[in-house]
């Protein structure tokens, strides 16, 4: 990618290696995120897929992932609420081991929770004036944003089927409304 000369030397990047979360914690978080999105029948089905995965092939994949992490100290996996990255890493591990895709990943609920229409990234350094972030699905938007002391900016990207200028107008209107509220003004229509 593009990096202006001089910035590389002045802004060294340090990676913090995070522990791999426990599989049962990831499954619990995954189900917790799915529950409000699914009807009772679909949730029971998803719960069954998740339980089968956790008590079956998921254990083997988790052990492989933990072993890889111990051998490769330069890697990092998200902990905390990042169950999606953990499940993704387990999926990649299954693929690398030649294991057929577990049912959890074939479940419609898994597909839905991974269809991210808004994909965002912050550029929070005063050294970065402009950047970009792409959409991760064809009907989505990529939003790179920066918040500084006296300005807020964003770049919107999208596939041609989406109307990025119209979306940017909505972002602009939303920010105007937020500032009006903060300044005690009435919101304009």
For 124-158, the pLDDT digits (tens) are 666 666 677 789 899 999 988 887 777 788 888 89
For the cut 60, the answer to whether the pLDDT of residue 23 exceeds it is yes
For the cut 50, the answer to whether the pLDDT of residue 3 exceeds it is no
For 160-183, the pLDDT digits (tens) are 999 988 998 898 898 888 888 888
Measure the N-to-C terminal CA separation of the chain; round to a whole number of Å. Answer: 41
For the cut 90, the answer to whether the pLDDT of residue 24 exceeds it is yes
For the cut 90, the answer to whether the pLDDT of residue 28 exceeds it is yes
Tokens of 65: 């992932």
DSSP string, 119-173: EEEE---TT--------SSTT-EEEEEEE-SS-EEEEEEE-TTS-HHHHHHHHHH
pLDDT score at 114: 83
pLDDT score at 10: 30
Under 8 Å between Cβ of 46 and 34 = yes
Distance between CA 84 and CA 72 in Å, rounded? 21
DSSP string, 36-96: GGS-HHHHHHHHHHHHHHHHTHHHHHHHHHHHHHHH-TT-----TT-HHHHHHHHHHHHHH
For the cut 50, the answer to whether the pLDDT of residue 11 exceeds it is no
For 52-98, the pLDDT digits (tens) are 999 999 999 999 888 887 776 655 554 444 677 788 889 988 999 89
pLDDT score at 134: 85
Tokens of 88: 């993704």
CA 114 from centre of chain: 8
Average model confidence (pLDDT) across the chain: 80
Tokens of 53: 């995965």
């Amino acid at each position: 990618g593009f990096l202006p000369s001089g910035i590389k030397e002045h802004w060294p990047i340090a990676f913090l290696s995070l522990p791999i979360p426990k599989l049962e914690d990831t499954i619990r978080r995954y189900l917790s995120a799915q529950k409000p999105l699914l009807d009772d029948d679909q949730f029971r089905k998803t719960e069954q897929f998740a339980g089968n995965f956790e008590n079956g092939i998921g254990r083997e994949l988790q052990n492989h992932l933990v072993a890889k992490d111990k051998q490769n100290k330069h890697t990092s996996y998200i902990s905390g609420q990042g169950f999606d990255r953990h499940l993704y890493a387990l999926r990649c591990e299954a693929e690398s081991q030649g294991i057929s895709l577990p049912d959890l990943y074939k479940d419609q609920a898994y597909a839905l929770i991974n269809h991210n229409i808004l994909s965002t990234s912050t550029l929070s350094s005063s050294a970065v004036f402009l950047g970009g972030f792409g959409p991760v699905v064809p009907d989505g938007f990529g939003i790179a944003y920066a918040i500084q002391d006296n300005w807020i900016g964003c770049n919107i990207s999208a596939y041609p089927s989406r109307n990025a200028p119209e979306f940017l107008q909505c972002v602009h209107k939303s920010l105007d409304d937020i500032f009006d509220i903060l300044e005690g003004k009435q919101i304009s229509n």
